[in-house]
Amino acid sequence: MDATNTGAKAAKLTVGDKSWDLPIHPGTIGPDVVDIAKLYGQTGMFTYDPGFTSTASCESKITYIDGDEGVLLYRGYPIEQLAENGDFLETCYLLLYGELPTAAQKADFDYSVTRHTMVHEQMTRFFQGFRRDAHPMAIMVASVGALSAFYHDSTDISDPQQRLIASIRMIAKMPTLAAMAYKYSIGQPFVYPKNDLDYTSNFLRMCFAVPCEDYKVSPVLSKAMDKIFILHADHEQNASTSTVRLAGSSGANPFACIAAGIACLWGPAHGGANEAALKMLSEIGHVDRIPEFINRAKDKNDPFRLMGFGHRVYKNYDPRAKIMQRTCHEVLAELGIKDDPLLDVAVELERIALSDDYFVEKKLYPNIDFYSGITLKAMGFPTTMFTVLFALARTVGWIGQWKEMIEDPSQRIGRPRQLYTGATQRDYTAMSKRR
């Protein structure tokens, strides 16, 4: 479908013998929108769009996806160029402030983030309450929400300065909490951040260093991890970002809103797909079993889906998946992994699926989660950490969208309506009269 820029100023809705003009607003790129904000007041009717397949929930200037062309822009810059030329903190600055930083602005931003990477020492006691086999995503939902307890008294969201500090704190502390969740799950001591390391090298060291020996971060793996963070940073109004916006619309503090976003991201249809995709590739096990799973994915009576395939918006190849596939090969080469059976299965599964009529007709292509699992597993992360890494990277997108919503003068508390098809009014029946 072509992105519609109709040029029309209004749409006409006719119901019976009545008509109403609904304003049309054009975007800079992408589909126009029909403004239905006054529809209920004018017509007494609601619109109906479960899953919001045709509904714009807000106006935003941050990220744009052209699903038909497989294009992803952060503040107008193509994801391929940002991943190739910059680092994750540059992307964070761009998403938060709308422009690429000058050298001085970048240095100042890096300095500020670096000096907020430590968490309150009491957080280490908070972790002791979890079982060692707790899923790291459960720990992340809890510990990020718990940051409200440490900073709630200084998070006046009506104060731009405090919103900025909360944003920097969130971006800075997510790697530390993510590394703590990993260390806790493998019974190793927490590793503190080091201010002389860049953001992503600091994270890898907090994950993989041990007190008994020095740990040298591989520049190739750090660059690959940094690129993976850039690919996952933001993605318009996806389920978890919409969750953060809705939570934030009530005035909840940013830490509680990000915790809500982490909870939503955990689902296998969303950010949990990278963990599910790797489990699927392991279950398939060998290229000979691929046809069996392709048939299951096409069987309406079988709930099985090809994890890492399909997307609500992309009806072409997810541009992030292409970069992810290249990064996967770079990481495997750096680690000297010549032939990874899971990669063999993934490449053959993609080849077969992309030539199968079912997937072609439904425009199902690999998405970002298809190759990320193989890469992260090769880097040494357990599958339970995959969605934690997604949440770490997406935090800047959540915070940027939350900030845009708070600063939007037209924003109000989100409160959707419904199509009610339940019981009509009836009187209470005494217990003695119930059958």
Q: Is 346 in the site for ligand SDX (CB under 6 A)?
A: no
Catalytic residue list contains 369:
yes
Q: Show the tokens assigned to 327.
A: 């990064």
Is 329 an active-site residue? Answer: no
**Token pair of 307 as six digits:** 């994890």
Under a CB-based contact definition with an 8 Å cutoff, are residues 232 and 393 in contact?
A: yes
Q: Could you tell me the smallest distance in angstroms from the CB atom of residue 41 to ligand SDX?
A: 31
Please give the single-letter amino acid code of residue 154: S
Of 119 and 391, the one with the shorter C-beta distance to ligand SDX is 391
Return the residue of 223, 305, 322, 326 that touches ligand SDX, per CB under 6 A.
305
User: Nearest distance from residue 283's CB to ligand SDX, in Å?
Assistant: 14
For position 273 contacting ligand SDX by CB under 6 A, the verdict is: yes
Q: Is 399 in the site for ligand SDX (CB under 6 A)?
A: no
- Residue 379, amino acid: M
Looking only at the bridges linking them, the beta strands covering 77-78 and 63-66 are unpaired
Count CA within 13 A, CB hemisphere, residue 309: 25
Which residue stretch of 221-229, 256-264, 266-274, 378-386 sits at the interface with ligand SDX (rule: CB under 6 A)? Answer: 266-274
Q: Is 315 in the site for ligand SDX (CB under 6 A)?
A: no
Residue 63 interacting with ligand SDX (CB under 6 A): no
**Candidate segments 125-133, 264-272, 379-387, 414-422, binder of ligand SDX by CB under 6 A:** 264-272
Cβ closer to ligand SDX: 144 or 191?
A: 144
Letters for 367-396 (x = contact with ligand SDX by CB under 6 A, - = none) are: xxx---------------------------
Q: Torsion-angle region of residue 70: left (phi > 0), alpha (psi -120 to 50) or beta?
A: left
Question: If you ran DSSP here, which 8-state letter would residue 287 be given?
Answer: G
Kindly report the number of other CB atoms within 10 A of residue 22's CB atom: 17
For residue 295, how many other CB atoms are within 10 A of its CB?
13
State how far the Cα of 377 lies from the Cα of 355, in Å rounded to an integer: 28
| 311 makes contact with ligand SDX (CB under 6 A) | yes
Q: Is 261 in the site for ligand SDX (CB under 6 A)?
A: no
Q: What is the CA radius of gyration of the chain?
A: 24
Two tokens, residue 15? 């119901």
* Residues taking part in catalysis: 311, 369
Chain positions contacting ligand SDX, by CB under 6 A: 235, 238, 269-271, 273, 297, 305-313, 362, 364, 367-369
